[in-house]
Amino acid sequence: MFRIVEKGKDLVDVFERLKRKIGLIIGLEGAYPLREPDEFEIFYKLGVRVLGLTWNVDNQYAASCMTSKDYGLTSLGEKLVEKALDRGVVIDLAHASRNTMRDVLSISEKPVIISHIALRKFNDSPRNIDDEIIELVKRNRGVLGVFFVPEFIRKEETSLKDIVEQILYIKENFGIDIIAIGSDFFGTDKLPKGLENIGKINDLANALLEKGIRRGEVEKIFYKNALRVFMENMKA
């Protein structure tokens, strides 16, 4: 059984009362359908509660991670971000350029997400983020969804231990409260050895426990950190 999540009370229901229901939050990966910021109201009424500014292509609102000239967030983009935040919509900076991330994190008083991302420390890809962005997300009280797409995690063969390594790096240098899981299971046809499907997700939890991460911290990584961000953004 599924439940579309549109308000904070819907999240509370899913986690506290409707134990057998799965909550679904609708997101828009890229603001390309919007000719102007005011059109976002249509998507909001359709249930969109997460707004990603870009995919891998630039638009009138922001530069993407694959941009040839990183112009960051435009004035139209700033208007769109403010409109979405005012509606209680979570801003997603996955696929955004470095300057776009910096610009949004400088103006948003509410926590944002980078829903599926890897670290430049381990693979210097434009799709990944560096320590400065991680620090800005920490100050923003947002979360990073560590994802499982091998080509961005390491240049060689990737396994479950590489995901654990990225999580441990963030924890040791920036704390536990910004880490989430952003698997992107449906975004790739190749997954790390040991995490080939959702049925193996508990193996990741067990591997983290074996590395000394406490059970309460694993719960934060798996859902509580992300839940906090949605509860802080969404309308009651």
Sign, CA torsion 129/29/42/36: positive
pLDDT score of 38 more than 90: yes
pTM of the model: 0.96
DSSP 46-109: TTEEEEE--SSS--SSB-BTT-SS---B-HHHHHHHHHHHHTTPEEE-TTB-HHHHHHHHHH-S
**For tokens 């906090």, what's the residue?**
228
Domains of the chain (ranges; CATH) run 1-110 (no CATH), 114-236 (3.20.20.140)
The model's pLDDT over 68-96, given as tens digits with 9 standing for 90+, comes to 999 999 999 999 999 999 999 999 999 99
Element (H, E) at 24: strand 22-24
pLDDT tens digits along 197-219:
999 999 999 999 999 999 999 99
